[in-house]
Amino acid sequence: MAESIPVGHGSDDADHGEHGGHHEMTFGEKYIFPLDHKMISMQYMFTGMFMAIIGGFFAYAFRMQLAFPGMEVPGWGHVSPADYNSLVTNHGTIMIFWVAMPVLIAAFGNYLIPLMIGADDMVFPKINRLSYQIFLLSAVIILAAFFVEGGAFGGAWTAYPPLSTKAEYNLTPLGQTFWIVAVALEFVAFLLGGINFITTAMNSRAPGMKMWDIPMVVWMIVIASILFMLSVGPLLAGGIMMIFDQQVGTAFFDPDQGGDPVLWQHLFWFFGHPEVYVVLLPAVGIVAEVITVFSRKKLFGYKTILYTAIGTGVLSFTVWAHHQFISGIDPRMANVFTVTTLLISVPIAEMMFVYIATLYGGSITLTTPMLWALSFIFEFLIGGITGIFLGASGNDIFLHDTYFVLAHFHYTFYPIAIIGTFAGFTFWFPKMFGRMMNDGLGKLHFWLTVIPFNLIFLPLFVLGTAGQHRRIFDYTNFPDLALPWMQDLRVLATVSLCVMLGAQLIFFYNVITSWMSGPTAGKNPWNSNTLEWTATSPPPHGNWPEGLPTCYRGPYEYSVEGRESDFWPQDEPA
């Protein structure tokens, strides 16, 4: 298998070559232990959505406590300080590692890469299956921590030692180890997935598909996988050191025995900052696919976007200590990291400009996926510019660990993980399930998600600027933070959150009813150019049983002058 993989073909695994239904697959083969990239993608997608519901419920529980301290929260009960810490810790951990990563990288990567490059499957389907199984195991472990003695870990998603390494300080002797084991396993799962994404995109492209003909979202997932693989090593090592500190009695991070707690922070953020771009890039790629289709425009500056993505990725390895300005590092280091951090504004601004420029001269239809994609650009712009406040070391002395930081990174992660996912899911839903979603319900869901999102986090910018720190379960203990106008803003944020969570019922109702009885989509409902739209909806096992497509041009040839139709599919001979 390893010696030669013919271009245009995916897997050559011995027992996987029989595409097209030579034998009937059992239920277990098809849905539980599948090798088909689309089914593995759906496993990741729905596990991710399930975890998002849990992460959202945690947010509901602790936001209720913040708005109405001491209340019996319906569905949770009294939120004790220990509960509060576990809830915020696991909300953060789950939303990043068990929602953003599986949905954006694994689900979209698995679904889109083979279909968009014209391959019948991933290069290593069994590694792909193993990746999901390890991921599922890690999800079970992170949730199981809530049911063990002492409860789930509550030392924040950054898990700074010594709090995270000594049970006498965190009071969760088992929860602390469940947490780090789950995170480490999750990294292993994504390392396996990443190998597949990179090799498949490099080796299995349709005949004729040159490097610059690869759709942007595929490029972005490949770059993200490379960033992930380069950055995760130190943290995986750090994670194992942490498990040793907790359970074996080593002292890598223990100052009492000559260890250094700040070392963990370096290992964590050396991964942690590139991780932001690992999840950002796939979302940026999804947005590129959606806005070109619904503005009938060629992507403005294909190579420019690619170079800015690579530039951002490289720079992202040089900025990690901006999370540590006031953590006791040598103060002279802050100057260097301020410069590198502010430099990131250059490629990111270029990327945003290029997207706005793509809209120029278009023929724009505001469908549901287009609304999501456009709101990504706008909301991420706010997330980006508020980062400048924090990257400027002098200003960070005041803003560090306040709600300003919290609001800032929710303005980046929310557009990425939630808005980007909805853009992609509503856009490819016809391909995934063969039916159209209800556009009216889709738009209602869009507005009832995006407006409350802003009403949650804009007030939190104000509270952060007023000096409110994070991870405190009851602000009434602090006279300067217990002012009535501040409490009003907290209530506004909580009520908006409840509206937003409630609105997700519309989404699930829409998904289920459209899946059951929506109008049939046909192969190419959006008149799109890329190869996945030439397969049937949904594509069968093997994607193109009648033969793999051939590629003749780039993916964004919309509204080419002198052509009758305003799109030009990649597989249409010239």
Partner 1 sequence: MIINSLIPAASTYAGDIDQLFDVIMLLVGIPFLISSYLFFAFIFKFKKKEGVPAMYITGTEHKYMKWIHRAHIPILTFDVIIVVMAVNVWYDIKQDLPEANSTVKVIAQQWAWTFVHPGPDNVLDTADDIVTINELHVSKDRLYHYKLEALDVLHNFSVPVFRLKQDAIPGRVITGWFEPTMTGEFDIQCAEICGIGHGLMPARIHIESASQHAAWVAENSPLAVAALSPGNTINTINTINTVETKIEEFAAR
Q: How far is the CB of 248 from partner 1 (least distance, A)?
A: 20
Binding to partner 1 in span 335-354, by CB under 8 A = 335, 338-339, 342-343, 345-346, 349-350, 352-354
Decide: is 377 part of the binding site for partner 1 (CB under 8 A): yes
Q: How far is the CB of 555 from partner 1 (least distance, A)?
A: 13
Distance of CA 296 to the CA centre of its chain: 27
Binding to partner 1 in span 161-190, by CB under 8 A = 162-163, 166, 169-171
Q: How far is the CB of 353 from partner 1 (least distance, A)?
A: 5
Q: What tokens appear for 351 in the block?
A: 């990327």
Binding to partner 1 in span 483-542, by CB under 8 A = none
Query: Between 175 and 518, whose beta carbon lies closer to partner 1?
Result: 175
What are the φ/ψ torsions at residue 151 (nearest 5 degrees)?
85, -175
Q: How far is the CB of 412 from partner 1 (least distance, A)?
A: 15
Instruction: Return the axis-axis angle of helices 368-391 and 261-295, rounded to nearest 10°.
Output: 150
Binding to partner 1 in span 249-278, by CB under 8 A = 255-256, 261-262
Whole-angstrom Cα distance, residue 442 to residue 449? 11
Decide: is 326 part of the binding site for partner 1 (CB under 8 A): yes
For the purposes of burial, counting CB atoms within 10 Å of the CB of 226, is it exposed (0-12), middle (13-18) or buried (19 or more)?
Answer: middle
Decide: is 304 part of the binding site for partner 1 (CB under 8 A): yes
Q: What tokens appear for 295 in the block?
A: 């503005």
Whole-angstrom Cα distance, residue 1 to residue 17? 11
Q: What tokens appear for 317 in the block?
A: 């390895």
Decide: is 409 part of the binding site for partner 1 (CB under 8 A): no
Classify each residue of 547-568 as buried b or exposed e, where b means 16 or more C-beta atoms within 10 Å of its C-beta: ebbbbbbbbbbbbeeeeeeebb
Decide: is 378 part of the binding site for partner 1 (CB under 8 A): yes
HSE-up of 69 (CA within 13 Å, CB side)? 12
Q: Identify the residue among 140, 210, 363, 520 touching partner 1 (CB under 8 A).
A: 363
Binding segment (CB under 8 A) for partner 1, from list 37-45, 329-337, 442-450, 487-495: 329-337
Whole-angstrom Cα distance, residue 493 to residue 548? 51
Distance of CA 574 to the CA centre of its chain: 38
Query: Between 190 and 473, whose beta carbon lies closer to partner 1?
Result: 473
> In this structure, are residues 277 and 283 in contact, taking their beta carbons and an 8 Å threshold?
no
Which stretches does DSSP call E strand in 269-363? none
Q: Which residues pair with 77 in a beta bridge?
A: 73
Binding to partner 1 in span 83-112, by CB under 8 A = 84-85
Query: Between 371 and 432, whose beta carbon lies closer to partner 1?
Result: 371
Q: How far is the CB of 443 from partner 1 (least distance, A)?
A: 15
Structural element, H or E, at residue 136: helix 125-144
Whole-angstrom Cα distance, residue 252 to residue 102? 31
| CA distances to 244, 305, 377, 378 from 371, in Å | 48, 21, 10, 11
Q: Identify the residue among 82, 229, 230, 441 touching partner 1 (CB under 8 A).
A: 82
Decide: is 480 part of the binding site for partner 1 (CB under 8 A): yes
Instruction: Return the axis-axis angle of helices 216-247 and 302-315, rounded to nearest 10°.
Output: 10
Whole-angstrom Cα distance, residue 10 to residue 31? 21
Q: Which residues pair with 158 in a beta bridge?
A: none
Q: How far is the CB of 29 from partner 1 (least distance, A)?
A: 45
Decide: is 331 part of the binding site for partner 1 (CB under 8 A): yes
Decide: is 359 part of the binding site for partner 1 (CB under 8 A): yes
Query: Between 170 and 537, whose beta carbon lies closer to partner 1?
Result: 170
Instruction: Return the axis-axis angle of helices 420-433 and 439-465, rounded to nearest 10°.
Output: 160
The residues, ordered by sequence, that sit 6+ positions from 402 with a Cβ below 8 Å of its Cβ are: 463, 464, 465, 467, 468, 469, 470
For residue 538, say if its preceding peptide bond is cis, omega within 30 degrees of 0. yes
Q: How far is the CB of 79 from partner 1 (least distance, A)?
A: 11
x/- map, 108-147, partner 1, by CB under 8 A? ----------------------------------------
- Strand 77-78 with 72-73, pairing: antiparallel
Decide: is 422 part of the binding site for partner 1 (CB under 8 A): no
Q: How far is the CB of 495 from partner 1 (least distance, A)?
A: 22
> In this structure, are residues 518 and 436 in contact, taking their beta carbons and an 8 Å threshold?
yes
Q: Identify the residue among 428, 473, 526, 552 touching partner 1 (CB under 8 A).
A: 473
Decide: is 389 part of the binding site for partner 1 (CB under 8 A): yes
Q: Identify the residue among 127, 188, 251, 357 touching partner 1 (CB under 8 A).
A: 357
Binding segment (CB under 8 A) for partner 1, from list 49-57, 97-105, 209-217, 386-394: 386-394
Query: Between 419 and 548, whose beta carbon lies closer to partner 1?
Result: 419
Q: How far is the CB of 391 from partner 1 (least distance, A)?
A: 8
> In this structure, are residues 256 and 335 in contact, taking their beta carbons and an 8 Å threshold?
no
Binding segment (CB under 8 A) for partner 1, from list 25-33, 52-60, 204-212, 384-392: 384-392
Q: How far is the CB of 31 from partner 1 (least distance, A)?
A: 40
Binding segment (CB under 8 A) for partner 1, from list 97-105, 137-145, 217-225, 554-562: 554-562
Please count the residues of this chain forming the interface with partner 1, following the rule CB under 8 A: 97
Q: How far is the CB of 81 from partner 1 (least distance, A)?
A: 5
Binding segment (CB under 8 A) for partner 1, from list 214-222, 407-415, 459-467, 543-551: 459-467
